[in-house]
Chain A
Amino acid sequence: MLELLDYDFMRRALVAAVLTGLTAPAIGTYLVQRRLALLGDGIGHIALTGVALGLLTGFAPILTAVVVAALGAVVIELLRVYSRTSGDVALALLFYGGIAGGVLLLNLAGGSASTLNNYLFGAITTVSDGDLTLVAGLTVLVLVLAVGLAPQLFAVCQDEEHARVSGVPVRFYGLLIAVLAAVTVTVAMRTVGLLLVSALMVVPVATAQQLTRSFRVTFALAMAIGTVAAVAGVGTSFYADTQPGPTIVVLALAAFAVTAPVGAILHARRRRPRGGPPVPTAGPADSTVVP
């Protein structure tokens, strides 16, 4: 039954799936809390330029993608903080510049349509041992910071002004969250692809919070859901001969579809008359990042 474990590339794929499934919802919880659910999507666009630069220059695409995505995330955060009115348009310019520039550079590097496809929608079965080491290192980095700094990150995402008056360096943590999101995008790039990264950051969180009342449990449950969806997605894609990235995302969405009615009943029972649906799911790519 578990014949997929007979293949080296499937074993690596499953490890990559676990790493991605843990990391993406961990940082995604903070993004959703901050109401920046689509930030990952924008960073994904920018990361494509990083990938192309790697292919063009001969560096490992994951490395160049981390660097470019992190720089992009810092610029996005600075725009968010310092420009009130025009930030929205500036973000759009950055995102579409990232994806157009990425495709152009890929062409120049002699990359084929399938190379592009691999990065846009993931190619988890082509993960090499070197990739896996890099991805594992980045995962540990993100998880240690996302869990270790949870009190500060929670405070900043919950209420920036109150956090500032508590002496928390809010700007620093805002940048940290953006950079961690960028690293996560790169980690998830090989698994679900740049265009679907945001789904794995947001959908498990949206699913978890159908059932939860506390941040702590939402955080843990989202990571569990993300991991199960990623592993089950890889397994399903092996047997059904589908692309792993979209399979993972469809499974995560299916989990959401199943829990949403349960959540509606739970919330109606717990809540006083007021309230609405708790959180939006991932929307189309052209929505704005800043609420």
Chain B
Amino acid sequence: MTAADAAPPVRLVDVTVQLGGRPVVRGVDLTVGAGEFVALLGTNGSGKSTLMRAAVGLLPLAGGTAQLFGSPVDRFRAWERLGYVPQRSTAVSGVPSTVGEVALSGTLSRRRVVGLARRDDRRAAMEALDRVGLADRARDAVTELSGGQQQRVMIARALAGRCDLLVMDEPTAGVDQESQLVLADLFRGLVSEGRSVWLVAHELGPLAALVDRAVVLRDGSVVHDGPYEHAIGAPHAHDHPHGDEPARPGAIGTHGAWGSAT
């Protein structure tokens, strides 16, 4: 880490994002510091994925500034410092590929000579697979894995660049219990190494105990930014009623009744 790293990995100031001319994210401030684990929560349509996609440069900003490691995102070039897991259920494409091949493609941001993989890139890919508990599956086709395992392959791909910041769009959606526990271990390890983790989720499950901060969006605005315990009851996006949770008065208290599903 050098002096230039004083800037936080993610710094969003007054960010507004429009989709189809309609503001989906409005004036959001959000910072993810070095070594911090931040969860972005909210109901479906609250704008959390949109915000994350804009933060990594996949969507244009309609207002405000987004910085990654101190550089405006549109001028950010240190892609090897950023690992990204898009929102998707599988890592399967039209042609078979092995778990190792997909993980290795995550080292592309580090390769300087026409994308040629060096021995160190292969080692990084295997290390990343090892961290998600799939090193022994490297030669298997991705299609032979369960949904949760495929999700872990995509996280390994993001980690293979040995990034300082891991950004994930719903990595836990539809993931089995075993994979959730593997991920919890993984994120705990990353944070203890001083790396940052920022994820979008509906529910945190076993990750709840790990997050430093929960940021809750509603209708594109931040309605909570602080400890997760104060956010309980809010982030459930499903339509099924939560008879027990809203009934806990202290849980909603100071931040208002932002738990009501839309």
Interface residue ranges, A against B (CB under 8 Å)? 29, 32-35, 37, 148-152, 154-155, 157-159, 161-168, 205, 209, 212-216, 218, 267, 270-272, 274-275, 278-279
B195 within 8 A of A: no
Whether B144 pairs with A270 at a CB distance below 8 angstroms is yes
Do A272 and B146 contact each other (CB < 8 Å), given the known contacts A151-B115, A165-B82, A166-B108?
yes
Whether B109 pairs with A209 at a CB distance below 8 angstroms is no
Residues of A contacting B126 with CB < 8 Å? none
Residues of B contacting A35 with CB < 8 Å? 93-94
B31 within 8 A of A: no
Closest chain-B Cβ to A238's Cβ sits at a distance in Å of 33
A194–B255 Cα gap in the complex (Å)? 65
Whether B93 pairs with A151 at a CB distance below 8 angstroms is no
Whether A164 pairs with B157 at a CB distance below 8 angstroms is no
With beta carbons under 8 angstroms apart, the residue of B84, B111, B116 that contacts A162 is B84
> Is chain A's interface secondary structure helix, strand, loop, or mixed overall?
helix
User: How many residues of B sit at the interface, in one of the four size bands?
Assistant: 35 or more
Residues of B contacting A278 with CB < 8 Å? 96, 143
Interface residue ranges, B against A (CB under 8 Å)? 56-58, 77, 79, 82, 84-86, 88, 91, 93-98, 100-102, 105-106, 108-109, 111, 114-117, 139-141, 143-146, 154, 157-158, 161
Whether A34 pairs with B94 at a CB distance below 8 angstroms is yes
Residues of A contacting B157 with CB < 8 Å? 162
Residues of A contacting B101 with CB < 8 Å? 154, 214-216
B147 nearest CB neighbor, chain A only: A274
Residues of B contacting A274 with CB < 8 Å? 146
> Is chain B's interface secondary structure helix, strand, loop, or mixed overall?
loop
Residues of A contacting B100 with CB < 8 Å? 214
7 A-B pairs, CB-CB below 8 angstroms?
A158-B93, A159-B93, A162-B84, A166-B106, A215-B97, A270-B141, A279-B95
Residues of B contacting A152 with CB < 8 Å? 108, 115
Do A165 and B146 contact each other (CB < 8 Å), given the known contacts A151-B116, A151-B117, A154-B105?
no
Most buried by B among A155, A159, A165: A165
Whether A214 pairs with B96 at a CB distance below 8 angstroms is yes
Residues of A contacting B144 with CB < 8 Å? 213, 270-272
A167–B79 Cα gap in the complex (Å)? 6
Whether B140 pairs with A158 at a CB distance below 8 angstroms is no
Residues of A contacting B141 with CB < 8 Å? 213-214, 270
Whether A155 pairs with B105 at a CB distance below 8 angstroms is yes
Residues of A contacting B88 with CB < 8 Å? 159
Do A158 and B97 contact each other (CB < 8 Å), given the known contacts A166-B109, A213-B140?
yes
